[in-house]
Chain A
Amino acid sequence: MMRVALVLALLCAPVAWAESLTPYIWNDVTGDRDMPWLGRGGRAHYFKRDITKPWDIMNPRGPTIETRWGASGGTGEDPFKSSERAVAYLERVGALKGWPAYPPVEGRPGAVAYPFRVTIVCLEPLVAILRFDLSAAMPDPIEFFEGAMPPSLRGVAAVDQEVSGGNLANAVMFGSRVNARGALQWFSPDAAQAPAPLDLSSGRARITVKGVTLELEKKGEELVVRR
């Protein structure tokens, strides 16, 4: 009896580590996140899957969690990869050229001091908004990082609106709202669309890419993106 209890406890331990995820299946953990639009319609969802094996109990890194965003966990892309693809595309089209870089750390190239905030607003195809901001060239101190967010996303939720990936000084943001202060541009790695200015002189703009149309409207300090 004792032996059975011990085996059960060992099997359940990884689940206990990993928040309240049901192991081995994709869990929708979107919660209050302001998610990017999906080209095929609707908003993307945020998924996590705990694939920790019982014998990983001694893994000092803790549980093994996979993350995806999209329509489902199975079809979605790793947010880290999306972010990395966005920044890699900027590099490929020369947008990062001419901006200085921080010194390399442990053999990895140093982050580029790119004075633009990057916000992913749509997946499949990947579309992102660039906002010119001198402070983006340096890593945000913790107490100031919310300032990069649109006003409605500041506060506790702000920390869930970022995704690492890409060699910039700050993480890439995501959502359907963007801080509208400063000159704005858009780009799409999936449509090979290099950064192009957004004309918001009328308060509105439209992005059409691969048959998907995004309507943009400036509301005070925010740019609201609709599908």
Chain B
Amino acid sequence: MLSLCAVAPVRAEEPEPREAASARIFEATAIDRLILANARAKIAGDPKVEQRLDDFMYELRKPALWNPSHPAWAPTRAALRELLARESDAWLETYWPQAMKIHQREIAYAYRLQDILVVQEFAESPGGRAYFAQRLADARVKAGEAMFSLDPATPAQLQKLAQETRRRVDALPPPEKQRIATFTKGGSGHADILEMLIQGQSKWIAEVFLGHLSDVRYEIREAWTRELGTRFASMLPVDSKKQLLGSLELRDDASLLFRFTFYWNDAADGGKLALEIPKSAPYYTQTLALAPGLARGHPRVLYRDKDGVVSDKP
């Protein structure tokens, strides 16, 4: 019994052969970077990312004050995108080592030992290295490095890298080219499993990225608000410490329309309601008085102070 206990810790320190093979595959192919680039490509076209950016914009100024048609919107949003990219890159630096371990384990335990050794042999061959280098370079071109990047590069740099890796594959000797063809199209199933795993992990990482965008720390968002507020001070709509209610509009038939937005469907401006106040309503005059001189086609934003007084004064 005692001798068993003495042996146990020694055995625990020995690397599981499949995990060791998986680590070497990752080292030779940088599959994790391929997963990363695929995940970036997945979120690049996801409307949730754009919605999250809009939500950050509405933290800077409330929806009643501005929207994409405001002149300050586009430049401020571009600057915000840069800030978000920097934050996401910094966060990824700390997150990626954990994700890497999970990727390696997923791949390690998806194969029997004899099969993962086949994959390892291919990965470490000149043909395998060149094949994965080209896939990674192409994926990076497709995904861009706008955010969630460990080594940001410009589109021109990425294009150049892709061309170089393509030339490297073209320059391979015929046996290595044949090795690539055998692995990828040989029908052994090794490449299919690997592909399935890469796609699965890429999808998961894309979800992690979306989750992160919904969970950026408050103090970071506060710092963005301060920085953008200073940079675009002359362009941004006037801010207010009052409660921002919505906008009051005078319509052609002289009726009043009070529009406001509310948080809905995970978006700061996801819900919209409008109250119509006809000229015959007993409270029409009272409502019109909230925005003196209100003219058709020029809606006025309404605010409410802590004493409950509603007016058009920010």
Contacts and interface: CB of A to CB of B under 8 A. Distances in A.
B265 to A, nearest CB: 9
Contacts of A135: 243, 245, 304, 308, 310
Contact of A102 (B271, B283, B305): B271
Interface in B219-274: 243, 245-246, 258, 260, 262, 264, 271, 273-274
B275 interface: yes
A133 B310 contact: yes
A205 to B, nearest CB: 15
Contacts of A115: 258, 275
Contacts of A138: 245-246, 260, 262
A100 B274 contact: yes
A147 B275 contact: no
A103 interface: yes
Given A115-B275, A134-B310, A182 B286 contact: yes
B264 to A, nearest CB: 6
A148 interface: yes
B309 interface: yes
Interface string A147-171: 1110100100000000000000000
Given A132-B283, A147-B305, A102 B273 contact: yes
Contact of A183 (B245, B258, B283, B290): B283
Interface in A116-143: 132-135, 137-138, 141, 143
Contact of A141 (B243, B264, B290): B243
What does DSSP make chain B's interface, helix, strand, loop or mixed?
Answer: strand
B275 A99 contact: yes
What does DSSP make chain A's interface, helix, strand, loop or mixed?
Answer: loop
A113 B305 CA distance: 20
Given A103-B264, A138-B245, A182-B286, A133 B308 contact: yes
B46 to A, nearest CB: 24
Interface in A171-200: 179, 181-183, 197
Interface in A45-65: none
B286 A137 contact: no
Contact of B273 (A100, A132, A183): A100
Nearest to B243: A144
B302 interface: yes
A179 B307 CA distance: 10
Nearest to A139: B262
Nearest to B307: A147
A134 B258 contact: yes
Contacts of A182: 283, 286
Contacts of B199: none
A132 B286 CA distance: 9
A146 interface: yes
B282 interface: yes
Contacts of B306: 143-144, 146-147
B214 interface: no
Given A99-B275, A100-B275, A182-B283, A137 B260 contact: yes
A25 B273 CA distance: 46
Nearest to A182: B286
B309 A147 contact: yes
B281 to A, nearest CB: 9
Contacts of B310: 133-135
A102 B275 contact: no
Given A133-B308, A134-B290, 15 more contacts: A98-B276, A103-B264, A132-B283, A134-B310, A135-B308, A135-B310, A138-B245, A138-B260, A143-B306, A147-B305, A147-B307, A151-B307, A179-B308, A183-B283, A183-B286
5 contacts: A113-B273, A134-B275, A135-B304, A138-B262, A147-B304
